[in-house]
Each structure stands twice: as C-alpha cells, then as structure tokens.
Amino acid sequence: MNNKFRISLLVAAFGCSTPVFSDDIQVAVAANFIDVMKQLGESFGEISGHKVLVSSGATGKLYAQIKNGAPYDIFLAADDARPILLDEEGIAIADTRFTYALGTLVLWSPQHELIDKNLTVLKEQKFSYISIANPKTAPYGRAAQQTLTELGYWDAVQPKMVRGENIGQAYQYVYSENAQLGFVAKSQIFKNGEFKGGSHWEVPADMYDPIVQQAVLLKDHQAARDLLDYIRSPEAVKVIESYGYSVSP
C-alpha cells in the first residue's frame, strides 16, 4: 500500500481536513505507555505526515506541568483522576476524554525462580532492595502500595524499598539489578503474548484500584484530534493489547 493511498484512507476514516501541511503533535504520556505510544506515533506519522513528539513521566508530574502551561496537545495519563480534573478545571477540551487502556501490575525480577507463586521472596525478605514507583505521583506506585498493604508487607519492606520517580524509573532499578525485584507495569515486560525473561507474579486485580488510563485533548487542532481517533482505531487497539493492556469496548 503506497503512502498516498494510506493517507487517503486516514482522511476517509478519521475525517482529516488535509495531510498536505504536516503538524507536530506534542504528547504527554505516562511512563508505562511510552513504548506503545512511540510505536503508535510512528505508524500515525507514516499515515498522516504529522510528527508525534512524545514526553513521558509520572502522571502526577505531567499533570502539574500541564497546569503550569506546558505546551502539550494531548495527555495520556496512567489514571482517570487527572484527566477528570483537567476537564473540571476547564483546561482540557470538553467531551474529548476517554479510556484508552486498562493497566496491570506485575511483580518482576530478572532473576529466574526468585519469585514463586507463594511469594516466598516477600515472606522471607530474601532480597536487598525492592523497587516501586512513587505512590504520590504514579498510579502504578499507588497500586504497588495497595498490593503490599493487602499482603501485609508494606511496613516490613520499607528499609529495603527504592522509589522511582515514575514507573519507568522503577523498572530501570530492577532491569539494572540495583533492585532484585520490583512492581512494574505489565507492558514493560510483556510483548506479543510472552513475558520477558526472569520470574514474575501478575498481581490479582482485586488487590489494587483499577488502573484506568485515560486520554484527553488539551489543544483543539485537527492533527491532535486525528491522533486520538487513531489511538481508538482497531489497528491501534491491537498494538495496545499486544503489550498486555486490556481495552474497554
């Protein structure tokens, strides 16, 4: 399929005005979704001619940046609380908020057999450090705190806990083995039906509040609207699900 034909399909499918003049689209994205958004941005760029520029971080910090006037066109949060606030505060464009993914929390270690189904490593404190994202700014960090509290280990692991500013940093602590294990987003260690090497425990969904990840439009221009439409397209949903997310019907 040549590029002109693909652009024609985008025009027909998403109602693009015209792709002749390309626009840069500034996207603020929660750290757990960065790899997915880069892939989607590249695909959208090939189809539309627009360049997608991605900045990632903790949802709470991105929200603060947006409140302080950061020039983002779209916000892809790791929760629904901040997009709702932006709606209520009149910062987001009305009637553009939607759920683009439902996240899953996983306890992961690059060491094989460190994590078993009985969570012996937590029960017996057989590790030097455990990593989580900051619960105050990162929804996955809050989910990790809720999980450890539910398990009864929150107080016990405090002396061995390292906190990343966001879930990307929390993952890096474990990936680099500065922490032996940590709570990460499933999307960071899962692709196309397979988990990354090591050992893991997928946290039961009833141990933490649902991680409802919502998107919202911040500046009303057609290219950004088209990108949000693309994120909801069947093609994009397949990519999102391939990273272990579920997507609301």
56 contacts 30 by C-beta, under 8 angstroms = yes
Q: How far apart are CA 39 and CA 236, in angstroms?
A: 9
Give residue 249's pLDDT band: very low, low, confident or very high (50, 70, 90).
Answer: low
pLDDT tens digit sequence for 201-224: 999 999 999 999 999 999 999 999
Tokens 């997009």 map to which residue? 83
pLDDT category at 23 given cuts 50, 70, 90 is confident
> What share of the chain has pLDDT > 90, as a percent?
90
CA geometry: angle at 37 spanning 35 and 39, to 5°?
A: 70
Q: What is the pLDDT of residues 180-190, one digit of tens each?
A: 999 999 999 99
Q: Is 214 helix (H, G, I), strand (E, B) or coil?
A: strand
State the pLDDT at residue 15: 46
For the chain, helix, strand, coil in percent to 5 are 40, 25, 35
Closest C-alpha to 215, from 25, 12, 23: 25
DSSP state of 129: -
Q: What is the per-residue pLDDT for 10?
A: 55
Phi-psi region of 145 (alpha: psi -120 to 50; beta: other; left: phi over 0): alpha
CB of 143 closer than 8 Å to CB of 186: no
Query: Residue 20: pLDDT above 60?
Result: no
Ramachandran angles phi, psi of 77, nearest 5°: -90, 165
Give the tens place of pLDDT for each residue, 134-146: 999 999 999 999 9
95-120 average pLDDT score: 97
